[in-house]
Amino acid sequence: EAAVTQSPRNKVTVTGGNVTLSCRQTNSHNYMYWYRQDTGHGLRLIHYSYGAGNLQIGDVPDGYKATRTTQEDFFLLLELASPSQTSLYFCASSPDWVQDTQYFGPGTRLLVL
């Protein structure tokens, strides 16, 4: 079973604050993804990567940066957090391109005051 972990599980920050969300997968998967989940919108892709040092823009990238430091680690950065970024964030990984299964982490709930 694929293992994807996220930290922190919960985070509260203020408007304009700096937040880093972390994701680690231990299955040597090539692809990693960051999604946000909001009521009425489902899951929306923010950024993704197909290997260390690689970054690709998703569907809702504004206000977010990402960095893939190793095959295992993928970070999501909010440098000037806004209340509109209050959401539940999921990281996922998959061993190959889109045809394969994506394995999701448990999520990070972020509240921006």
Partner 1 sequence: GDSVTQTEGQVALSEEDFLTIHCNYSASGYPALFWYVQYPGEGPQFLFRASRDKEKGSSRGFEATYDKGTTSFHLRKASVQESDSAVYYCALGKTQVVGQLTFGRGTRLQVYA
Residues in contact with partner 1 by CB under 8 A are: 4, 31, 40-45, 48, 50, 56, 58-59, 90, 92, 97-99, 101-107
Q: Are 30 and 70 contacting, i.e. CB atoms less than 8 angstroms apart?
A: no
Specify the residue, 79 or 100, whose C-beta has the smaller distance to partner 1: 100
In the complex, least distance from residue 15 CB atom to partner 1, rounded to whole angstroms: 27
Residue 48: how many other CB atoms lie within 10 Å:
22
Specify the residue, 17 or 45, whose C-beta has the smaller distance to partner 1: 45
In the complex, least distance from residue 14 CB atom to partner 1, rounded to whole angstroms: 26
Nearest-CA neighbor of 12 among 83, 96, 93, 103? Answer: 83
Residue with tokens 């969300």: 21
